[in-house]
Structure 1
Amino acid sequence: MSSSFNVHKASGYEQLMGRWSQKLALPFIDFAGVEDGDRIVDVGCGTGSLTFALAHSRRIQAIEAIDFSSVFVEEALRRNNDPRITIRQADACALPFETASFDRALALLVLHFIPEAKKAIGEMRRVTRPGGTVAAVVWDHLGGMAGMRMMIDTVAALSEAGRQLRSRYCFQPMIQPGEMKRAFIEGGLLDVEETQLMIRMNYENFDDYWGPIAAGEGPLGAFVGKLDGAERAQVDAAVRDAYEAGRPDGPRSFANVAWACRGRVP
């Protein structure tokens, strides 16, 4: 499995997205219907936002967490002190578990970074018992991430490379309305439901917002990292201007919407 998400340092990811995925994990757990005693696989666990939220919010029997990135796996292992949690490096499109091993298969902010997302959904269904739940949540990059669209639209106004980035970013797999629901239904899941979950991303100042992107984290950081000196200076100044919006630098708050989908294994 390849992934379109790049990560250099776990700390950089935490500032870029981990702190927000922790907030999104709680409403997602409620939507997925997680119950005490469940055996759960966390597909694409990252640094453990969903894994540890599950362990703290419910009396889970066991959690198997996997991720394709060794950087994420190493950080999640470092943080873990719960004997119910097992963390390993693995491929979401070839899960290393027997059929019908879990009560629920969950994926927080990962399917839109998997080119073969439907294959990953099929694997989540395979390892979930009959009557169990498959559930996933992804950001609505096109219409639901005001803070990130601010940067994307700014660089798109500056160059053709920026416009190409916007096209890729806004139309990743599973992020269009109804797209994940259709994939769940086509994958043989029953009673499929899709909804929207919203959190707010609150930044202390421009450096808090821009720092991890400027350091090369995530798909936006990968774009910035390829710019030459003059292009980089232009982008830095333009994005700062967009963030400040004519007022002094300081706190800003952006609403962020995610698509969540769940289905029952027949």
Structure 2
Amino acid sequence: MSSSFNVHKADGYEQLMGRWSRRLAPPFIAFSAVEDGERVLDVGCGTGSLTFSLLETVNVGAIEAIDFSQIFVDEVIRHNNDPRITVRQADACALPFEAKSFDRALALLVLHFVPEAAKAISEMRRVVRPGGVVAAAVWDHLGGMAGMRMMIDTVAALGEGGRQLRARYCFQPMMQPGEMKQAFIDGGLLDVEETQLLVRMDYENFEDYWKPIAAGEGPLGAFMGKLGSAERAQADAAVRDAYEAGRPDGPRSFANIAWACRGRAP
């Protein structure tokens, strides 16, 4: 399996998305209905937003955390001091666990970056015991991420490369209403439910918003990294203008919606 997510440094990802993943983790855990004592699999753990939130929210028995990126695995290991957590590099489409070995398999902000998302759902179902839960959440890039769409729509107005980025970004897998729910049903899960989770992304100023993207983190950063110096300067100025929106630079807050889905293993 490959991943379409672009990461250079763990701290860059943390500023780009990890801090917002931590805000999304508690409502996602509540929706997933994790219970005390359970053995939980965190698929695509990133810098540990869900992994560590589980410890703060529920008295879980054990957490196995995996990620395709060794950068993320090393970061979670560096911050972990709880013996209930085990972390390893692994493929979401070929999970290195026996069948029926977890009470819940969770994937927070992962499936839209997995080219074979249906296979990952199938693997999550395989490793969950009968009656256990598979749950996932992804951002609604098309209609639910005002701050990111601000940048996307701005660069799309500047040229064809930006328009192509928007077409890819807004229609990644699992993001359309009902799409992930249908994938769960097609994957053999029962009692499938879908909902929306809302958090806000609060920035201190434009630098706080733009720094990880300018440094090349994530799909938006990857796009910026491919621009020539003149195009990049134009994009920098245009996105800053969109962020400031005619007012002095300073704090801005954007609403962000994630689709969340859960189903029960037969």
Amino acid at match of 1:206: F
Give the deviation of 1:99 after TM superposition. 0.1
2: CA distance between counterparts of 1:128 and 1:175?
Answer: 24
Cα deviations by residue, 1:216-253 (Å, 9 ceiling, x for unpaired): 00000000001110000000000000000000000000
Counterpart residue number, 2:33: 33
Give the deviation of 1:147 after TM superposition. 0.1
1: CA distance between counterparts of 2:56 and 2:87?
Answer: 16
Give SS of 1:37's match. Answer: coil
Counterpart residue number, 1:21: 21
Give the deviation of 1:57 after TM superposition. 1.1
Give the deviation of 1:171 after TM superposition. 0.3
2: CA distance between counterparts of 1:113 and 1:198?
Answer: 20
Give the deviation of 1:183 after TM superposition. 0.1
Equivalent residue pairs, number: 266
2: CA distance between counterparts of 1:231 and 1:100?
Answer: 52
Counterpart residue number, 1:3: 3
Cα deviations by residue, 1:30-53 (Å, 9 ceiling, x for unpaired): 000000011000000001000000
- TM-score of the aligned structures, taking structure 1 as reference length: 1.00
2: CA distance between counterparts of 1:148 and 1:78?
Answer: 30
Counterpart residue number, 1:235: 235
Q: Does 1:263 align with 2:266?
A: no
Cα deviations by residue, 1:9-64 (Å, 9 ceiling, x for unpaired): 00000000000000000000000000001100000000100000001211100000
Could you tell me the percent identity over the aligned residues? 81
| Moved segments of 4+, more than 6 Å | none
Give the deviation of 1:2 after TM superposition. 0.7
Counterpart residue number, 2:66: 66
1: CA distance between counterparts of 2:233 and 2:172?
Answer: 28
Amino acid at match of 2:49: S
Give SS of 1:261's match. Answer: strand
2: CA distance between counterparts of 1:187 and 1:65?
Answer: 22
Counterpart residue number, 1:173: 173
2: CA distance between counterparts of 1:188 and 1:256?
Answer: 30
2: CA distance between counterparts of 1:59 and 1:109?
Answer: 23
1: CA distance between counterparts of 2:53 and 2:132?
Answer: 20
Give SS of 1:34's match. Answer: coil
Give the deviation of 1:79 after TM superposition. 0.4
Counterpart residue number, 2:46: 46
Cα deviations by residue, 1:118-154 (Å, 9 ceiling, x for unpaired): 0000000000000000000000000000000000000
Give SS of 1:3's match. Answer: coil
1: CA distance between counterparts of 2:47 and 2:145?
Answer: 22
2: CA distance between counterparts of 1:146 and 1:84?
Answer: 37
2: CA distance between counterparts of 1:215 and 1:51?
Answer: 26
1: CA distance between counterparts of 2:84 and 2:63?
Answer: 6
2: CA distance between counterparts of 1:79 and 1:180?
Answer: 32
Give SS of 2:13's match. Answer: helix
Cα deviations by residue, 1:205-225 (Å, 9 ceiling, x for unpaired): 000000000000000000000
- 1:172-251 correspondence runs (5 A): 172-251=172-251
Q: Which runs of 5+ in 1 are unaligned?
A: none
1: CA distance between counterparts of 2:144 and 2:59?
Answer: 33
Amino acid at match of 1:135: A
Cα deviations by residue, 1:79-110 (Å, 9 ceiling, x for unpaired): 00000000000000000000000000000000
Counterpart residue number, 1:94: 94
2: CA distance between counterparts of 1:206 and 1:256?
Answer: 18
2: CA distance between counterparts of 1:81 and 1:195?
Answer: 33
Counterpart residue number, 1:145: 145
